[in-house]
Amino acid sequence: MNFSLTVGLPHYLLVGAMLFCFGLYGVFSKKNAIAVLMSLELMLNAVNINLIAFNRFLWNNPVEGTKHLLLNGHVSAIFVIVVAAAEVAVGLALVISIYRSRLSANVDELDWLKW
């Protein structure tokens, strides 16, 4: 039995995928708009994990001629975090304003833009 406890890329990806699926499930099934937003955050974070993991395991080399490592994945993750923050701010604002006027945050009832 050779247990290798090394945590490698597949593990990160697995965690990312699980998180993503949880998020996806939440987005599809939750009725409360806030819960949907939270699930969305889960999915975004899953993506962040992937980005950073890929950067660490596949692209862990310095920029040509310097000692600095390439950090594209990290930067992207930070972008995602910023965008997510902004998105949550806007999303929550919308949800709250809808809730105020309709007294409901049930996404099934928010279909009055359909036609």
Partner 1 sequence: MIRMEASFQWAWLIPALPLLSFLIIGFITKKWPKLSSTISIAAILTSFVLAVWVDFGVFASGVGAELVEKPYQHVVNWLTFSGVPWGLSAAPLNIEFGTLIDPLSAMMLFVVTLVASLVQIYSVGYMHGDKGYSRYFAYQSLFAMSMLGLVLSTNLLQLFIFWELVGLCSYLLIGFWFFKPSAREAAKKAFMTTRVGDFGLLLGILFLLNKFGTLNFVQLFHMMTPEVKAMVAVGGVSYLTLTAFLVFIGPIGKSGQFPLHVWLPDAMEGPTPVSALIHAATMVVAGVYLIARIYFLFQGASPAALEFVASLGGFTAIFAASIAIAQNDIKRILAYSTLSQLGYMVMALGVGSLTAGMFHLMTHAFFKALMFLGAGSVIHALHEKQDIWEMGGLWKKMRITGTTFAIGVLAIAGVPPLAGFFSKDEILSAALHNGHPVLFGIGLFTAMLTAFYMTRLFVIAFMGPEKAENHPHESPWVMTLPLVILAFFSIVGGWAGIPEHGFAYFVRPWGSEFEPEAMNWLVAGPSIIVGLAGIILSYIVYYGKASDPVEAAFPRVYKVLKNKYYVDEFYLWIIKHIVDGIGKVLYWFDIYIVDGIVDGLAWIARSLGSLFRRAQTGQLQVYAIIFFVALIVLFLAVTYGEGQLHALNPLALGGGK
List residues binding partner 1 (CB under 8 A): 24, 27-29, 36, 107-108, 110-115
Cα–Cα dist 92/106, whole Å = 14
Residue closer to partner 1 by CB (options 3, 112) is 112
Residue closer to partner 1 by CB (options 64, 108) is 108
Task: Give the nearest distance from C-beta 111 to partner 1 in angstroms.
Answer: 3
Task: Give the nearest distance from C-beta 59 to partner 1 in angstroms.
Answer: 25
Task: Give the nearest distance from C-beta 97 to partner 1 in angstroms.
Answer: 17
Residue closer to partner 1 by CB (options 19, 36) is 36
Cα–Cα dist 17/25, whole Å = 12
Cα–Cα dist 31/35, whole Å = 7
Cα–Cα dist 36/86, whole Å = 16
The set of residues, in sequence order, having a beta carbon less than 8 Å from that of 84 and lying 6+ positions away, is: 41, 44, 45
